[in-house]
Amino acid sequence: MEMMDAVELEKQKHNNTRMEALQRLAKLETTNADLARSLATAQKRLEVEINRVADLRRQIELEEAAHEELKRRIASNHQSGTNLNQLAASKGIEFGCEILEAEYSLVADKIGQLQDKASFLSYSLSFCPL
């Protein structure tokens, strides 16, 4: 009788331990899923920012090409007389380039922050045992 009680007690302890392990596993799986969603969100934001930076780079290149063309025209007109309208247009493009460069800088900083966050989430996921 004592032996049966001891066996029954051990079975109960084993079942309790098993239930605790299953609860912990479920909690870890939930945490892992949450971290995976966060990582996916961060990666999507990073992708959007990367595309935005690429667009800004293209805009900067176009503005610089237009600026160079205006410089060339101004130099050519300078030989035959200064054209104030083209000079004013050049200043406007210069200002536009400065604005684009400032925006590019802000986007680059944001990308750095998102990359850091993605790295942290990847690091967190790598230490989340299942």
Q: How far is CA 35 from the centre of its chain?
A: 15
| pLDDT score for 23 | 96
φ and ψ at 49, to 5 degrees? -65, -40
- 117: Cβ contacts below 8 Å, ≥ 6 apart: 42
d(CA 65, CA 23): 63
The pTM is what? 0.48
- The amino acid at 130: L
Q: In a structure prediction context, what are the per-residue pLDDT tens digits for the chain, which is 130 residues long? A: 788 888 888 889 998 999 999 999 999 999 999 999 999 998 998 888 888 888 888 888 888 888 888 778 767 766 655 555 555 566 777 787 788 888 888 888 888 888 888 888 877 777 765 5
Which CA distances in Å does 126 have to 24, 40, 120?
17, 15, 10
* pLDDT at res. 34: 93
CA 5 to chain centre: 60
